[in-house]
Amino acid sequence: MESVSSVRRNPGRAKRGGVSLRWRLAVAFRVLAAAVGGYLVAALFSVCLAQWLPFTRAESVVLAMTVSFLAWLLVALWCFACRSVVLAWFGVLLPAGVFASLYGIGRWLS
């Protein structure tokens, strides 16, 4: 005979796999934030860094593009280390806004 706990199911759980839709969507949005947001931050970081480095243009671009992979890695780690998806997106969009502003200031000053 089945016990009462095995008959009752958690209403938040899916029927197959035992994982809720809410959890799956949270993971999907974290992957999206890590991939798309990481690319956004890495691209803005490399453009901003290449603009502000005191080397020749070619050296600045190569160094900035190389270092941008580190920025992408940090964004991806941040997205999966946060407690909520909203905080993950906030941690992606805030540096993107800062790097876009720094790039705009650099273009305005030159």
pLDDT 10s digits, 36-59: 999 999 999 999 999 999 999 999
Q: Identify the band that residue 2 occupies on the pLDDT scale cut at 50, 70 and 90.
A: low
The confidence score (pLDDT) of residue 34 equals 96
The confidence score (pLDDT) of residue 65 equals 96
Residue type, position 58, single letter: A
CB 68 within 8 A of CB 46: yes
Residue 32 burial (C-beta neighbours within 10 Å; 0-12, 13-18, 19+): middle
Alpha carbons 57 and 107: distance in angstroms, whole number: 15
The confidence score (pLDDT) of residue 32 equals 96
The confidence score (pLDDT) of residue 19 equals 87
Q: Could you read off the pLDDT of 65-85 as tens digits, one per residue?
A: 999 999 999 999 999 999 999
